Amino acid sequence: MEVYEGARILIVDDDPQLGEILGEIISSWGPQVKCCTKPSQAIDQLRNSFYNIVMLDVFMPEISGLDLVPEISKSWRDTKIIIMSGYADKEIAIKALRAGAFDFLEKPIEMDLLSHSIRRALDIQKVEIENRMTHEALEQSQKELLLHRERLEHVNKELMEANTALSVLAQHIEREREASEKRIVLKTRSLILPIIERLQRDPGLKKYETDLWTLVNHIEDLTSGLATDTRIALTLSFTELRIACMISNGMSTEEIAKQLHVSASTVKTHRKNIRRKLNLHNSSHNLRTYLESKISKGSVY
């Protein structure tokens, strides 16, 4: 029968003839059967091989079968124990079941009861083993999930720390860039303007006075606060940037036109282009106020 396929049963009875008879009957149903007459032999057999069922006689010379039940139940928890006794003693049956026995059979044993007891023991044993293995697999899965979670939390922490470090680095780079621009502006003013001033005082270079003043104006414009505003410096042309500096200094359209030797309408066109490039489409936005705010933010003075 399929339910008995591969099953191993150990019979422990001090009556070798009874053990042999039971062994032959049970073997005919399919299980592998081993018989022994002493409890010590039974323990040795259990240590060497797994048995699905142990059939224990209660009364034996060396030790009572009842005394073996707790030891077998503790050491071989998957093994089912069926107690056999020639005495229909209710107390013995209760003690056996409380000690961990699966079933109690009275001698002489009816074959139908024996077959039913073995079948039921194997069925329950199969379910219990499958449930235990499933439970162990779930526990292992839980442990792995917890381990993965810890690893993910660790990786997430490292990513957050790396992101923070990158943010700090980006801020540091931006500060260094701004500081470098300011150093360049200051160095340009401190080195070039004094040279031009000496040239202006040279009587022999009087005829280049206008050119030198133009050069001074260019340098002043380039190193002004507006020139240090990267967006404005990249958006406006050189002429527009120069006019923007004049506007921020409070010069009117006519004054700018006179300074640059161009018409007032040309300056107005430049003003419109400046407003368009700086996205000052609302006429309520004052161009001079806007440019002054940029100088106050980007000035190096």
Mean pLDDT over the full length of the chain: 84
What are the residue ranges spanned by the domains of the chain?
Answer: 6-109, 178-298
- The confidence score (pLDDT) of residue 300 equals 36
- The confidence score (pLDDT) of residue 35 equals 95
Q: Does residue 88 surpass a pLDDT of 70?
A: no
Q: Does residue 296 surpass a pLDDT of 60?
A: no
127-180 pLDDT, tens digit each = 999 999 999 999 999 999 999 999 999 999 989 988 888 888 888 888 887 777
Q: Average pLDDT, stretch 187-204?
A: 75
List all residues 6 or more positions away from 290 whose beta carbon is below 8 Å from its beta carbon: 278, 280
Lowest mean pLDDT among 92-96, 151-155, 198-202, 273-277: 198-202
**Confidence (pTM):** 0.52
Q: Does residue 301 surpass a pLDDT of 50?
A: no
Identify the helix (H) or strand (E) that includes residue 13.
none
- 65 or 89: whose pLDDT is higher? 65
Give the separation between CA 34 and CA 46, rounded to whole angstroms.
Answer: 11
- The confidence score (pLDDT) of residue 53 equals 97
CATH 3.40.50.2300 fits 6-109, yes or no: yes
Q: What angle do CA 9, 70, 5 make, to 5 degrees?
A: 20
Helix (H), strand (E), coil (C) string for 97-166: HHHCCCEEEECCCCHHHHHHHHHHHHHHHHHHHHHHHHHHHHHHHHHHHHHHHHHHHHHHHHHHHHHHHH
